[in-house]
Amino acid sequence: METKILVTGGAGYIGSHVVKALGEAGHSVLTYDNLSTGNRWAVLHGELVEGDLADRDTLRRVMREFQPAAVMHFAASIVVPESVREPLKYYRNNTANALNLLDVMAEQGIGRFIFSSTAAVYGIPTSIPVDEQAPLSPINPYGSAKAMVEQILRDLAFARDDFRYVALRYFNVAGADGQSRIGQAYREATHLITRALKTAKGESDKLQVFGTDYPTADGTCIRDYIHVDDLASAHLLALDYLLRGGESDVFNCGYGHGYSVREVVDVARRVTGVDFAVEETERRAGDPPALVADSTKLKGALGWQPRHDDLEYIVRTAWEWERQRQ
Ligand code: UDP
């Protein structure tokens, strides 16, 4: 059945992959994006309205006219070290703007919401892999801003019978569309895999490895890298769940095993065939040593079946995408 979905940030990296998946599933999609980091060409399906979440009038008009059955909210700032330097930007873009969106949804009587949360809400987990019951204890403003929205969602769902949400806590999202139509296109790449590939491409002379003295097997940080199309499929399952009357809930999105920075570097060198230079430097502010998901709940309750649990595939799709960009 065709359902109308409003997607904030649908022109961005993760949002655009979800818009693609929604289109393939036959849904009607409206993307609301201020194009601050997103791109018009990335919206492969439905209409794009250029608008800011701070602009309540435009948001209200779009919501009133489109009357979505659910809202998926991707629009946010996502760079952990930037959040340490510029916390207000993160509380404004990620917390205050989410509040605006929820306000307008309430006014317009729209009560189904899927939220892009993050593993950064856990801070430094006391045990790995981390499940959804672990305490929320973020160690950077990016994680705090997202944890605040989760708190708002819990309170709102408690207060209002007609409001239900799913918060998906993303681990490290990477890779690109298998046909290289969309992928990461940030003006300034900060994520490890993208930085490694840009180095292989010759855009920088070396890849910095931030910290080699972490309490991990090889001293570098461990992350659970999940392919963006598998993350997109989790969103479609969450949508079906909510539309079938599911209760508000929270799910980790990751594969359940992690790779160190050095292991990622090895795979990137192998996939690209370029033995690019690496420089070991100081730790970067705000980085927990290891983040690995226990995603039993996503698999059990929503029936999620990942198709790309393979770091080589993740890096290869990202490389194919990266190679054909200017
Ligand atoms: N990292 C690195 N060099 C880079 C970018 C990232 O060593 O150029 C490390 C970073 O310190 C972290 C891991 O790679 O330990 C993943 O960082 P990323 O920025 O990709 O994602 P995050 O985990 O911060 O969301």
The CATH number assigned to the domain holding 80 equals: 3.40.50.720
Instruction: Give the alpha-carbon dihedral of 82, 88, 89, 90, to 10 degrees.
Output: 70
Helix ranges restricted to H, 109-181:
141-159
> Which residue CA neighbors atom 7 of ligand 1 most closely?
209
Mean pLDDT of the residues in the chain = 97
Whole-prediction pTM: 0.97
Place of tokens 């990137």: 268
Residue 186 pLDDT: 86
Residue from 199, 205, 223 to probe ligand 1 pocket by mutation (most atoms less than 8 Å from CB) = 223
21/76 same-domain check: yes
Question: What is each CA distance from 55 to 11, 15, 101, 288, in whole angstroms?
Answer: 18, 20, 10, 35
CA–CA distance, 299 with 309 (Å, rounded to integer): 13
Q: How confident is the model at residue 187 (pLDDT cuts 50, 70, 90)?
A: confident
Residues 112 and 47 in one domain: yes
- Does one domain contain both 309 and 274? yes
What is residue 1's predicted lDDT score, i.e. its pLDDT?
61
Which structure tokens are listed for 243? 């539309």
What is the per-residue pLDDT across 287-303, written as a single tens digit (0 to 9) for each? 899 999 999 999 999 99
Q: Give residue 232's pLDDT band: very low, low, confident or very high (50, 70, 90).
A: very high
Q: Are residues 294 and 280 in the same domain?
A: yes
- Determine the structural domain holding residue 50 and report its residue range: 4-174+225-253
Q: How many A from CA of 102 to the centre of ligand 1?
A: 31
**The pLDDT of residue 261:** 98
204 in ligand 1 pocket by Cβ < 6 Å?
no
More confident residue, 71 or 285: 71
Decide: helix, strand or coil at residue 70. strand
Q: How many domains does the chain have?
A: 2
- Distance of CA 111 from the midpoint of ligand 1 (Å): 35
Question: Does residue 88 form part of some domain?
Answer: yes
